[in-house]
Amino acid sequence: MRVTKSLVKDDDSTRLASKIFNEVMTEFSLPLRYSAMEFHVRDSTSFFSSGDTALICMDYDNIFVREKDERGIKALLTRQLFKAALGTSDDDQVNAEMTKNGHSDDLFYIYYSQIASSSKPDDIEECAPALRAFRNRDDMDFMRAAVEAAKRRARCK
């Protein structure tokens, strides 16, 4: 598979994301059925595919990238590669497959970080798939409590 990269900004944060992308690609366990993979650090986090080419984008303004949070960047990129492997952006399907393949800690980290840093009700509602992702009752209860606390915090502002 041919991999190309495009960094809209060239700084320590985006170079770190690029380095972690290399690591995640070499450790990824599911087959990626593309002849070409493009990795872009740009203004959005997304996944697209067309034919035998996949495009994985990571937002340079994402809190994990800005704060050089290696665990967060790795978790997000792992999630993007699961989207590529499954050929879908459906959160429920991707989350279920990640959980099945031992990546529930990555999901927990992504969603809890988003909940903890959110101050807008819409951002908190985007975390609803997290409540369906966890099969472990303790994780699910903890995430539910975090969502409720974040909603209360958002209403107070």
Note the pLDDT of residue 35.
Answer: 96
User: pLDDT above 90 covers what percent of the chain?
Assistant: 54
Across 91-108, average pLDDT: 90
Residue the block writes with tokens 């909603």: 151
How far apart CA 126 and CA 79 sit, in angstroms, is 16
In this predicted model, what pLDDT tens digit does every residue of 119-150 receive, in sequence order?
666 666 666 666 666 666 777 777 778 777 77
What are the b/e assignments for 24-40, b being 16+ CB within 10 Å?
Answer: bbeebeeeeebeebbbb
